[in-house]
């Protein structure tokens, strides 16, 4: 036994202990795997492959959730700040308003821009939507835009009549095409028309209208409006400017252009120049009403700086306006202000939603705890029967349960009848148990109770009965043993149940709608109202975002105080 | 084997569809109100139409109450899934204004009266309230009351303002959870003449005045949203007096034989009809037009009145209105347009409501919540 190195303890190959050293010696400090690549790299590669495989496995679900759940919600919530409608519907007016001081009725250029914007908006049928949008911020905007929209067709009519009187050629679509359209477009259009004739119904759409070079400089307003006219009738009615005479507002624009630039004809040639030259000579004697007077004539509300202030305040493509409305504030031309008294309801509703959700949660704990305790401590056979009683309503349709509560709770309902029959209340003094907060709290406590009982039950099931027995054997009374030994161990179940019940109830909709009347409704009923009735989707989105934020904040708070790890579902 | 053959037939049917569909689609989604009203449509013209065209599948969607929201959402998403939508006159104006419904020419797509009167005259201007609207029926919002209320000591409400009279007619009322009609009734009972009601409602003071009048009965009121609510509440004795569509009251009184009677005073007329969503594809549109031509002709509208007590929108249908299809009672006395019922009626000003509904809605809803 002299040569110890050949004994059983002798090291002959690489061991975990020596591997590091050997590797360091061989490869300047890099560990290598069996195939000679550095261990770090090969490990990373293996891990990455693993991760990719895991990702590929969850990818379908993940994509499904993103596409069908997260993206639509994000899109909906995005509406709470979106506000392109004002700047898209009234682009010219918004620019013209930049110079407005905000004090008096704006000047002529603003009204001229509005007339042009409205002429287009009415054709596109956007003006009522804009009116509704502005009405969220200032009363009477909707009716103002509707009334004006009905009269907007006539703006510029007098100018059109006088042009036609001057020369009937102005009535011909061809005159305008010759004046406004580019040579290329005319050629393309002719080619298209021939093809369309042959193709019949399946013809491709007409080529996009293009303005003649130089028109935009010589007759800027006319070019702008005629271009819009050609664009709109092509998109909306599939009509061609070669067949339709322009809107009256185009004539009016031409009148204004020629007044501003009597030498515009110089930019044209031949018959066009002559036609324009004659017109330029005649326009100073045309009788036209100013745009400002026209609008004030249609509706004197246009003189009110409020509507203009609102347009200006909401001209940016993104707005905090909806969020401000959602907290009973409003954005005015002079900054943020409180909503008028009779429109302040969201603070009230948010408060009521929180209060009622907490009440329902409290009721669920009070009613659910004893039931869960009983379930957890009864012998298996009877516990199972009781469990079915808990689950049976859980499996019944929500609507059926809510309607059943209606039958029970109404003034001529079962509960009141019983109370009257037993003499507890008089016939005249029947209790109002439905269509108010009481109704909502009763019905929702019942509906959400299983969400409290189930987590409580599964936590209580895991509490060994021997602990309570041990406490008693050490001299604790029943109450002390429950309070100091059993109850603390069931707290994670209470936490889980509370979170479930509270988060479910804060967004509840159908039950409060059916049994809540006017005082027992939640903020979610208001959101539903804005989605389906008033169509104020921006405000609905803002209210929804706030609700989501409140829930997340409460969750965070709960995590800080109770600790989310202490929550157990079983 | 059965399943396999079923699958074979189905796929054969699927293959066959495109060939047929060049002209008309075989499937049509109709949006309506559900309940007795939808049933009257089914009996009067949908079933007869399907008998004539057995290949046509009709899918019902009971979403008319949210028609504007639905059509706007579908238009924004660029995916029109509704083919024919039943809406009220005010909603049709809104849809037409926003370009969500298709403009139609009644004389072009609707049938003439049997005597050759063009459709536009047969319906008349007061029915064709918007360029997209194809009227079916005239109905009214009116009150029903229980006839067995002890506290009333034999008195019966015979005029609209009894709704606001809690002393003589104590008990809970039910009113619609919308400003429409309620505001008009409140102002009228506050002493405003019918012709001034809408002018008054335009002003802030007028709106406050109407709400103040409603305040007097607010804590005695149940607010309904579905047409079936009031009949149910009346039948349960939960309310003693409530507004709803006259046809629903007809079915409570005549079909279910409940101790309820009509209070026709100051009934408010409204219209209901079809709109075609804008942007349907060609085959579907052809099918919809084909169906509409049939479903709105003189006989079909008269047939509908045999199932529900709503007045047909065509003048030429009125003489054809006969008896209830199942009860065999004369329908004419139950029509809102019957002269005995119409003595103090008013016509809802749709145009005014289209202009002011945004304002009044938000004010009314805030008032309700406070």
| pLDDT confidence of residue A237 | 78
Q: How far is CA A320 from the centre of its chain?
A: 13
pLDDT at residue A500 is higher than 70:
yes
The reported pLDDT for the residue numbered A361 is 96
Separation CA A329–CA A335 (nearest Å):
10
Residues of B in contact with A322 (CB under 8 A): none
Q: What is the pLDDT of residues A39-93, one digit of tens each?
A: 888 889 889 999 999 999 999 999 999 999 999 889 888 999 999 999 999 999 9
CATH class label, A346-566: mainly alpha
Q: Which CATH superfamily is domain B141-268+336-369 in?
A: Periplasmic binding protein-like II (3.40.190.10)
Q: What is the arithmetic mean of pLDDT over A296-309?
A: 90
CB contact, 8 Å: B223 with chain A?
A: yes
Give per-residue burial for A419-455: e unless 16+ CB within 10 Å, then b.
bbeeeeeeeeebeebbbbbbbbbbbbbbbbbbbbbbb
Identify which of A142-151, A526-535, B191-200 has the greatest average pLDDT: B191-200
Residues in A closer than 8 angstroms to B222, CB to CB, are 435, 517
Chain B residues whose CB is inside 8 A of the A531 CB are: 69
Question: Which pLDDT score, from 0 to 100, does residue A1 have?
Answer: 44
Q: B31, B97, B283: which to substitute to probe chain A, counting the most A Cβ within 10 Å?
A: B97
- Find the mean pLDDT for residues A441-459: 93
Tell me the mean pLDDT in the region A454-465.
Answer: 91
Domain B18-138+272-332 has CATH 3.40.50.2000: no
Q: Does A342 sit within 8 Å of B367, measured CB to CB?
A: yes
HSE, side-chain direction, 13 A CA sphere, residue A299:
18
B136: helix, coil or strand? strand
Q: What is the DSSP letter of A169?
A: G
**In this predicted complex, what is the ipTM?**
0.84
Residues of B whose CB is below 8 A from A68: none
Q: Chain A within 8 Å of B368 (Cβ-Cβ)?
A: yes
- Angle among Cα A406, A408, A412 to the nearest 5 degrees reads 90
pLDDT of residue B142: 94
Q: What residues of A are in contact with residue B369 (Cβ under 8 Å)?
A: 345, 348-349, 518, 521, 526
Q: Tokens representing A336? A: 């943020």
Q: What is the rounded average pLDDT for all residues in chain A?
A: 87
pLDDT at residue B30 in the model: 96
Which ranges in chain B are annotated with CATH 3.40.190.10?
A: 18-138+272-332, 141-268+336-369
pTM: 0.84
Q: Does the pLDDT at position A21 exceed 80?
A: no
Q: List B residues 163-202 in contact with A (Cβ-Cβ < 8 A).
A: 172
List Cβ<8 Å contacts ≥24 apart for A521-530. Answer: A521/A349, A521/A440, A521/B369, A522/A349, A522/A352, A522/A353, A522/A356, A522/A440, A523/A346, A523/A349, A523/A350, A523/A352, A523/A353, A523/A547, A524/A353, A526/A345, A526/A346, A526/A349, A526/B365, A526/B369, A529/B365
- pLDDT-based confidence at A117, cuts 50/70/90? very high
**Cβ atoms of B275 and B254 closer than 8 Å:** no
Q: Pick from B68, B99, B366: which is nearest to A342 by CB?
A: B366
Q: Is the pLDDT of residue A459 over 70?
A: yes
Task: Give pLDDT, residue A535.
Answer: 86
Of B98, B236, B365, the CB nearest to A129: B98
pLDDT band at A25 (very low <50, low <70, confident <90, very high): low
d(CA B53, CA B293) in angstroms, rounded, equals 14
Query: Using the beta-carbon criterion (under 8 Å), do A535 and B223 form an inter-chain contact?
Result: no
Listed in order, the ranges of chain A carrying CATH 1.10.3720.10 are: 346-566
Encode chain B (370 residues) as per-residue pLDDT tens digits: 444 444 444 444 444 444 344 488 999 999 999 888 899 999 999 999 999 999 999 999 999 988 999 999 899 888 999 999 999 998 898 899 888 999 999 999 999 999 999 999 999 988 898 899 999 999 999 999 999 998 899 999 999 999 999 999 999 999 999 999 999 999 999 999 999 999 999 999 999 999 999 999 998 999 998 888 899 999 999 999 999 999 989 989 998 899 999 999 999 999 999 999 998 999 999 999 999 999 999 999 999 999 889 999 998 998 888 888 888 888 888 888 888 888 888 888 888 887 788 788 888 988 988 7
Cβ(A65)–Cβ(A74) below 8 Å? no
If residue B85 lies in a helix (H) or strand (E), which one and from where to where?
strand B84-88
Cβ separation of A132 and B358 shorter than 8 Å?
yes
The whole-number pLDDT of residue B191 equals: 94
Considering Cα of B9, then B12, then B18, then B22, what sign does the dihedral take?
negative
Q: To which residue do tokens 């059916």 refer?
A: A514
Q: Provide DSSP, B297-316.
A: SHHHHHHHTTTSS-EESSGG
Question: Å from B232 to nearest chain A CA?
Answer: 11
What does the DSSP 8-state code read for residue A353?
A: H
Q: In Å, how far is A437's CA from the nearest CA of chain B?
A: 12
Residues 6+ apart with CB under 8 A from A461: A376, A570
What is the reported pLDDT for A9?
57
């Amino acid at each position: 036994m002299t040569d110890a190195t050949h004994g059983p303890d002798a090291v002959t190959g690489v061991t975990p202990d020596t591997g590091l050293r050997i590797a360091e010696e061989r490869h300047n400090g890099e560990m290598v795997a069996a195939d000679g690549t550095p261990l770090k790299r090969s490990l990373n590669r293996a891990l990455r492959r693993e991760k990719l495989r895991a990702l590929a496995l969850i990818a379908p679900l993940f994509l499904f959730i993103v596409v069908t759940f997260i993206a639509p919600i994000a899109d909906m919530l995005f509406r709470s700040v979106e506000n392109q409608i004002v700047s898209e519907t009234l682009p010219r007016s918004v620019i013209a308003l930049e110079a407005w001081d905000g004090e008096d009725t704006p000047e002529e250029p603003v009204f001229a821009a509005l007339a042009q914007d409205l002429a287009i908006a009415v054709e596109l049928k956007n003006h009522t939507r804009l009116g509704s949008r502005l009405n969220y911020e200032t009363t009477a905007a909707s009716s103002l835009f509707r009334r004006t929209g009905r009269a907007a067709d006539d703006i510029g009519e007098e100018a059109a009549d006088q042009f036609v009187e001057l020369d009937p050629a102005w009535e011909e679509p061809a005159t305008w095409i010759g004046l406004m359209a580019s040579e290329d477009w005319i050629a393309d259009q002719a080619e298209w028309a021939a093809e369309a004739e042959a193709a019949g119904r399946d013809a491709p759409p007409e080529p996009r209208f293009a303005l003649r070079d130089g028109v935009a400089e010589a007759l800027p307003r006319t070019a702008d409006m005629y271009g819009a006219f050609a664009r709109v009738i092509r998109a909306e009615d599939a009509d061609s400017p070669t067949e339709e005479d322009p809107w009256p507002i185009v004539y009016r624009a031409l009148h204004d252009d020629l007044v501003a630039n009597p030498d515009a004809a110089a930019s044209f040639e031949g018959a066009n120049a002559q036609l324009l030259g004659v017109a330029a000579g005649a326009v100073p004697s045309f009788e036209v009403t100013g745009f400002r007077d026209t609008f004030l004539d249609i509706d004197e509300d246009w003189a009110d700086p409020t509507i203009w202030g609102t347009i200006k305040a909401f001209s940016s493509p993104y707005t905090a306006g909806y969020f401000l409305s959602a907290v009973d504030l409003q954005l005015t031309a002079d900054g943020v202000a409180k909503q008028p008294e009779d429109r302040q309801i969201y603070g009230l509703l948010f408060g009521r939603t929180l209060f009622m959700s907490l009440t329902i949660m409290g009721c669920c704990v009070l009613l659910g705890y004893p039931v869960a305790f009983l379930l957890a401590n009864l012998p298996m056979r009877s516990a199972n029967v009781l469990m079915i009683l808990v689950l049976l309503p859980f499996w019944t349709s929500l609507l059926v349960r809510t309607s059943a509560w209606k039958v029970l709770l109404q003034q001529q309902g079962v509960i009141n009848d019983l109370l009257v029959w037993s003499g507890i209340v008089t016939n005249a003094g029947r209790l109002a148990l439905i269509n108010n907060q009481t109704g909502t709290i009763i019905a929702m406590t019942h509906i959400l109770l299983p969400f409290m009982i189930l987590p409580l039950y599964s936590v209580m099931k895991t509490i060994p009965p021997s602990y309570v027995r041990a406490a008693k054997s050490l001299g604790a009374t029943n109450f002390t043993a429950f309070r100091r030994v059993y109850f603390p161990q069931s707290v994670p179940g209470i936490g889980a149940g509370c979170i479930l019940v509270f988060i479910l109830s804060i967004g509840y909709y159908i039950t409060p709608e059916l049994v809540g009347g006017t005082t027992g409704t939640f903020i979610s009923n208001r959101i539903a109202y804005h989605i389906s009735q008033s169509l104020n989707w921006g405000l609905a989105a803002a209210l929804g975002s706030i609700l989501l934020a409140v829930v997340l904040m409460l969750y965070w708070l709960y995590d800080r105080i109770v600790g989310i790890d202490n929550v157990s579902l079983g | 084997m059965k399943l396999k053959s079923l699958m074979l037939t189905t796929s054969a049917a699927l293959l066959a569809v495109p060939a047929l569909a060049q002209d008309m689609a075989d499937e049509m989604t109709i949006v309506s109100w559900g309940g007795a009203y939808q049933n009257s449509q089914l009996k009067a013209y949908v079933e007869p139409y399907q008998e004539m065209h057995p290949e046509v599948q009709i899918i019902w969607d009971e979403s008319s109450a949210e028609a504007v929201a639905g059509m706007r959402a579908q238009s924004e998403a660029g995916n029109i899934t509704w083919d024919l939508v039943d809406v009220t006159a005010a909603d049709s104006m809104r849809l037409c204004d926003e370009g969500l419904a298709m403009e139609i020419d009644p004389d072009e797509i609707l049938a003439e009266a049997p005597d050759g009167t063009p459709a536009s005259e047969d319906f008349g201007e007061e029915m064709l309230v918007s360029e997209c609207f194809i009227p079916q029926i005239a109905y009214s919002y009116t009150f029903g009351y229980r006839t067995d209320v002890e506290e009333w000591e034999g008195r019966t409400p015979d005029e609209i303002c009894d709704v606001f009279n809690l002393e003589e007619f104590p008990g809970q009322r039910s009113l619609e959870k919308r400003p429409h009609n309620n505001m008009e009734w409140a102002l009228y009972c506050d002493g405003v003449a019918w012709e001034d009601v809408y002018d008054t409602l335009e002003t802030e003071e007028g709106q406050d005045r109407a709400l103040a009048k409603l305040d007097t009965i607010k804590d005695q009121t149940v607010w309904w949203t579905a047409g079936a609510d009031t009949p149910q509440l009346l039948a349960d004795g939960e309310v003693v007096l409530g507004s709803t569509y006259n046809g629903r009251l007809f079915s409570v009184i005549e079909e279910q034989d409940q101790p309820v009677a009509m209070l026709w005073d100051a009934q408010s007329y409204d219209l209901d009809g079809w709109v075609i969503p804008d942007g349907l594809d060609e085959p579907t549109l052809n099918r919809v037009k084909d169906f509409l031509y049939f479903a709105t002709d003189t006989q079909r509208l008269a047939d509908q009145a045999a199932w529900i007590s709503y007045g047909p929108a065509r003048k030429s249908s009125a003489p054809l209105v006969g008896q209830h299809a199942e009860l065999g009672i004369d329908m004419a006395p139950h029509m809102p347009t019957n002269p005995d019922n119409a003595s103090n009626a008013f016509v809802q000003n749709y145009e005014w409501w289209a202009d002011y509904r945004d304002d009044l809605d938000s004010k009314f809803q805030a008032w309700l919540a406070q």
